[in-house]
Amino acid sequence: RGQRQIERSQYALALARKDAYPDLDVGYMYQQRPLIPDMHGFTFTLSIPVFYKSKQKEAIREAGEEQAAAERERDSRQADLSFELKQQYLAAKASEELMRLYSQAIVPQSSLALESAMAAYQVGNLDFLSLMGNFTTVLDYQVGYYRELANYQIALARMEPMVGTELTK
């Protein structure tokens, strides 16, 4: 869309520049009339842009400004797209790192702590409320892992239209 707008403004600028040149028109006319000899005629017309400073020059300036505005809009869109792509990439990398931490360190350690708490509860060294606290902690960490997995997939899904290829499987 942005490129088409730039091309359209380039054509408008070229047309405005052509309007600043004199326009020469040559024509031939033939007329057949009854009872009167055939008539032939040539016409020459020359249109000179006498109002160049007030009309054509301003049209050229306006077309040039429209082209510059279209180029600035395209550049702005590219910058926005680049920024959004970088943001989603960083979000995906952060979620990926947190998923790795949850799966390799936090969840296994909290699961071991829960197993230890269950053993202590079975022998009577730990009350039920503390055991449930350890259990909910493990659940919270597992939910955290899946939350980061969802954030990772969302970031990839948002990047797909920007890069034009499928990133999620």
Beta carbons of 144 and 103 less than 8 angstroms apart: no
What does the block give as tokens for 4? 């088409």
pLDDT at 9: 87
54 has a pLDDT exceeding 80: no
pLDDT exceeds 80 at position 168: no
What residue segments make up the domains of the chain, in order of their start?
A: 2-163
Burial (CB < 10 A; 0-12, 13-18, 19+), residue 23, is exposed
Interval 90-118: pLDDT, tens = 999 999 999 999 999 999 999 999 999 99
How would CATH label the architecture of 2-163? Answer: Up-down Bundle (1.20)
